[in-house]
Each structure stands twice: as structure tokens, then as C-alpha cells.
Amino acid sequence: MSEEGLEQKFIQEAFDTNWVVPLGPNVDGFEKDLEKFVGQDKRVVALSSGTSAVHLGLVNCGVGPGDEVITQSFTFCASAHPITYLGATPVFVDSEPDTWNIDPELMEEAIKDRIAKTGKTPKAIVPVALYGMPYKIDRIMKIADQYGIPVVEDAAEGFGSRYQGQVLGTFGKYGVLSFNGNKIITTSGGGALITSDDDEWRKVMMYATQYRESYPYYQHEKIGYNYRMSNICAGIGRGQMTVAEAHLAHHRHVQSLYEKLFADVPGIHVHSQPATGDFDSNYWLCAITIDEDVRIKDQENAYKTIVTSAVGGAAGVIHAASQAITDCQPNDNVEALREYLNKAGIEGRPLWKPMHKQPVYCGRSEKGKAMIDSLPSGAVCYTYDNSVAYVNGVSEAMFKIGMCLPAGPCVSDDDVQYIVETIKSAVI
């Protein structure tokens, strides 16, 4: 039976048995499929989103008001917002240049600096598998263990990625997966939290189902959340799990095509995993960087008009921008190439804007500007009203010159050829 046929079978069973609720046989089956996939004798709780998985991971680490949580600055906002949900302060750490993920050495410097300045150790660490690229989890875990800090792996973009042969999300105390509509496999919307054992699984499950006590009526002794996955969505997930390996192979194949076809294109570079043998990225999105001196057709008109719709798959109502430019944005040639591709029917996305440059997190202090400290390594610490950032310049530099290209299951070899030829035609 085809992937679509299996999905429809599981969904129809949910309707036929009246399990049209956020629990049921499909949820149980999907969790078992995921547990087999990730291995390491882990337990999995299927949830309504990857964001809810980050949130519950932090809840179970005891994060609360007044705490600080270290996370990657170069990421989607879902890695950071749950920290703020809990009244804690995100401490953003910049990236290393080879993986674009959190810099372990700067992370340790940040931990030492937070202890010196606050007298407290950060409550948790949230590394992120940016675009599926594995983080250097061996070094991260060594540092985390040294300071007694639990790790919540945000592998939302890294489903099936491995480091030294082990699936991401299985190294730390908790691991986060996402099954949003644009991920390697999808449940239309959804996520999962990977836990270490049955006791941790039970705690997560309680928090995910409103933390109801075992009485014949509803009694709650802790604040819980309505975070369980729908049995309908889980039916889609069960069908998707049958093609997970094929999807992973396809993304890696598309990456190899981009690497081959761009090899002789001056000024355009494909972001690839380090060649140490430790990394096995799923290449959820394939990314390129464009040298600053590369000229693109119609580049002089970049940022001349305000964008009136969302870019990069955003859905629903967006807040209308008041101006065409900000103080941190991709270079003119990157924006010009995005617009050129858009006219050719190709979606090119900007990289994630670093969290430490997002207005919601870099609000000014009472003195009217951020407090700035230089660190021995040459990095800089910025202290804002509701966040702290340890910055070495890598994520800002990559954001200015980078772009993501299509890589999903529907992207054919001919599509990749068309995308590359279109980019070549855009270069003056």
C-alpha cells in the first residue's frame, strides 16, 4: 500500500472507531514507531507541536521565573519563546562557523560568566540542529555534565540526523522532534518529546494531559497543558514513518546534487557538514552562502518596497512591517536573488535571523542601551531587559550572506537543475 493509502487507512480507522480525540490507537502506534526509530531504549510522547515539546522539556527541568536557560541564537523562535513562557531569561550563545550551531567553547565561557554575574548556574541548555546539521553534542554534554546542567536537545529540524552514529535527541535529558508540514516527516502539525525512561515519560505525559490526578473526577495538583497529539494527526504520522528513510535519503541526495552543480560557480558556496565522519545531517533544508561581491540582476532595487506577505512558509495573519529595512538583514544581493527566484516560481528563504537581533529580545535597558561587556575570548556579552547574548559575530555574518533552497520530497533532480541554472542566470 502507498504512503497516502496507509495514511488514509489509519485516519479512516480513527473515524470508524470514534477516536477523534488527542489520544488513541494511532497516537500509541506512532509513539512506538518513533521509539523504534530513535532507539537507545528511549520513550516518546507525541505532542501537538515541537514548541510544546521544548516547553515541556524545560518544565520537567524545573525552569521557572528568575532562572536562565542557554540556547542557540541562530535558530527559529520556538527554541527561545518557551523559555520566556516560563518567566525565565534566555541566554543566547552564538555559533561556530563550520556547523552554524552553538559554539561549545563560547557556551562554556557564557556559563562561567553567568555564574560569576548571578551566582547561579543556568537551569538548562537547549542546543539546536540548525537545518538538520548535528551539533557537537559530545563537547556540549561534557560541558553540561561538568556544571550539572540538563540538556534539552532541539532536534526539531534534525529528525533522523545522527552524530557519531546516534540519532539526535537521544543524548540529553530530553529531545525535541517536530512534524510540522515542512519537516522530513509530517503529521500536518505536531511534535514529540524524547525522554530517558518510564518515570520521565510518566511525568511528561502528566504535564501534557492537564496533570489530572487519579480520582473519578477532575482534580489537578499541578498546572498541566493540553499538549497531546490528535489521533487523526498521529494516523498521518504512522503512514509517514513508513517512508521516513526514503525521505531522509532524498534530502541527502538533493544536497549532493547542489554540491555537485554549484562546485564550479564562483562566489556561491553550499553549506555542508564537516568531513570528520562524526556528522550525518538530514539536510532538512539545503543552504548556500553568496559572497558579498557577487552581483545579482536588479540588485539596486533590493529593499526598495515593503514586503506585504509572509516569506518562508509563514501562515496566518502577519504584522505589517512599517519599513522596508532593519538594522540586521541579508545583503542586497541575497534579497535580489530571493526576488529573482520568486519570479521564476522558486522559493528561496533567508536564513533564520539570530534571536539576539530580534526586537522582542533586544529591547533596550533602562539606561537606553544594552549593557556591553567584552570577554577574554574576544566575544561580547550584551545584556538586555529580557535576554542576555554572547556574540562572536558568526550568526550575523551568515544571516547576511545565506539562503535556503528547496529540498523536500517533491523536489526532483530536474527541479534542482532548474534552480541552479536560474541562480546562474541571475548572476551578472
Each domain of the chain, given as residue ranges in start order, spans 3-243, 246-426
Q: Identify the residue whose cell numbers are 541562480.
A: 423
Q: How confident is the model at residue 24, as a pLDDT? A: 81
- Give residue 333's identity as a one-letter amino acid code: N
pLDDT of 111 > 70? The answer is yes
Mean pLDDT of 64-78: 98
All three cell numbers of 307, joined, read 514586503
Backbone angles phi, psi at 395, to 5 degrees: -65, -40
Alpha-carbon distance values, 89 to 81, 124, 187 (Å): 10, 11, 31
Ordered alpha helix ranges (H), 100-164? 104-118, 137-147
Distance CA 307, CA 319 (A): 11
Return the closest-CA partner of residue 60 out of 166, 158, 167, 199: 199
Could you check whether 3-243 and 246-426 share the same CATH topology? no
Angle at which helices 244-261 and 231-241 cross, to 10°: 60
- Give residue 201's identity as a one-letter amino acid code: W
Band (323; pLDDT cuts 50, 70, 90): confident
Distance CA 9, CA 14 (A): 9
Q: How confident is the model at residue 257, as a pLDDT? A: 98
H or E, element range at 202: helix 198-208
Strand 89-93 and strand 388-391: the pairing is parallel
All three cell numbers of 215, joined, read 480520582
Question: Per the confidence metrics, is the pTM higher than 0.95?
Answer: no
Q: How confident is the model at residue 10, as a pLDDT? A: 66
Mean pLDDT of 134-156: 98
Lowest mean pLDDT among 124-133, 182-191, 310-319, 375-384: 310-319
Return the closest-CA partner of residue 74 out of 395, 398, 402, 400: 395
Distance CA 247, CA 253 (A): 10
DSSP assignment letter at 78? G
Residue 33: CB atoms within 10 Å: 19
Q: Does the structural domain 3-243 have CATH classification 3.30.565.10? A: no
Q: How many helices (H) and strands (E) does the chain have?
A: 12, 17
Q: Would you identify the CATH topology of the domain 246-426?
A: Aspartate Aminotransferase, domain 1 (3.90.1150)
Distance CA 352, CA 73 (A): 9
Computed on alpha carbons and rounded to an integer, the radius of gyration of the chain in Å comes to 22
Distance CA 6, CA 29 (A): 13
Mean pLDDT of 78-100: 98
Band (403; pLDDT cuts 50, 70, 90): very high
Alpha-carbon distance values, 222 to 173, 196, 428 (Å): 22, 22, 62
All three cell numbers of 374, joined, read 567584552
Q: Residue 211, Cα to own-chain centre: how many angstroms?
A: 27
